[in-house]
Amino acid sequence: MSRLARVYERYADVVPDFPAFLAAHGAPAPLHVRVNTLKADTGRVRSRLAAAGIPAAEEPWCPGLLRLDAPEGFAPGTTLLHALGHIYVQSASSAVPAVGLAPEPGHRVLDLCAAPGSKTTLLVQQMEDTGCVVANEPNRKRLRSLATNLERMGAGSVLVTAYSGQNFPKRVRFDRVLVDVPCSGEGTWRGPAARPRRIRPDFRDYLVRQQSALLRRAYEVLEPGGELVYSTCTYAPEENEGVVGPFLEETGARVIPLEVAVPAEPGLTVWDGRRFPGDLRLACRLYPHRFDSEGFFVVRVAKP
């Protein structure tokens, strides 16, 4: 049994077509870049890429998100388009939470765990750089990369804060909150360079406590009638349904459909003897053999 199979075998009963799921992890995720519509035009970027011999197909569910058919070794981060802030390198899955949050121009939005800023800058684009996005990141090193990326993308409607997410001030309220929590990252282990590893139970418990606290604070700073999106890049039900389920029961929040047209599997209602609220069927599990990108879990929640 391969290392990958050993690490992922705990999901054999919940992932449909498990052999195809394992096989998909053998190849790297396709390369995507997102056009920064604050600065650049998608047509022009595609023309530039085509002139350099790189065909780019736009994802129909996310305007400006381009799947590149690039030669091996091509690094979009070294191009002038990247230096100018015309493009942002972002996996397709990682765009789903921001697209699913669907902020409107003029909204107040909080991105509670924002670095390095891929989702923040997509939120800014969706809002046409109006309203206000608060991008929060407590880690000093990651904060620098967040600020650099926001500068590069030319965002004028973003405030950067450095609060511990669990302790984000409750004196302010938001129309939308994105809480893309730190996680075990199992969904990113694709391709020959990936190094899958077993997650120790004590580390998983630590993550779950942190994720639960972040989700609760995200909900607390949400306006009544507001919506939040909780996401991870892991398959582990403990970090996904296991965090959101108890939160739903405790708060009375309800899950609403994520309106993003990508092939997703429903959230789990049973795992390892635990039962989760039936609402969680509306959550989205993104698997690489169904949606050729990284593995993700995304759920959209409304505050009554």
Q: Which residues bind another protein (CB under 8 A)?
A: 38-41, 44, 48-49, 51-52, 54, 75, 77-86, 106, 108, 129-132, 134, 143, 147-148, 150-152, 154-163, 169, 171-172
Q: What minimum distance in Å lies between the beta carbon of 157 and another protein? A: 4
Beta strands in the chain (DSSP E): 31-35, 56-58, 65-68, 87-89, 108-111, 132-136, 158-161, 174-180, 222-232, 254-256, 265-266, 270-271, 274-275, 284-286, 296-302
Pairing type for strands 31-35 and 87-89 reads: antiparallel
Catalytic residue among 62, 113, 183, 233: 233
Q: In the complex with another protein, which residue's Cβ is closer, 26 or 105?
A: 105
CB of 137 to another protein, least distance (A): 9
Q: Is-catalytic flag, 132?
A: no
- What is the nearest approach in angstroms of another protein to the Cβ of residue 215? 20
Radius of gyration (C-alpha) of the chain in whole angstroms: 19
Identity of the residue, 96 or 134, whose beta carbon is nearer to another protein in the bound complex: 134
Instruction: Between 107 and 290, name the residue whose CB sits nearer to another protein.
Output: 107
Are 233 and 280 spatial neighbours (Cβ–Cβ below 8 Å)?
no
Q: How far is the CB of 56 from another protein (least distance, A)?
A: 11
Q: Which is nearer to another protein, 27 or 84 (CB)?
A: 84
Q: Which residues pair with 87 in a beta bridge?
A: 35
Task: Say how far apart CA 39 and CA 121 lie, in whole Å.
Answer: 12
Residues marked as catalytic: 233
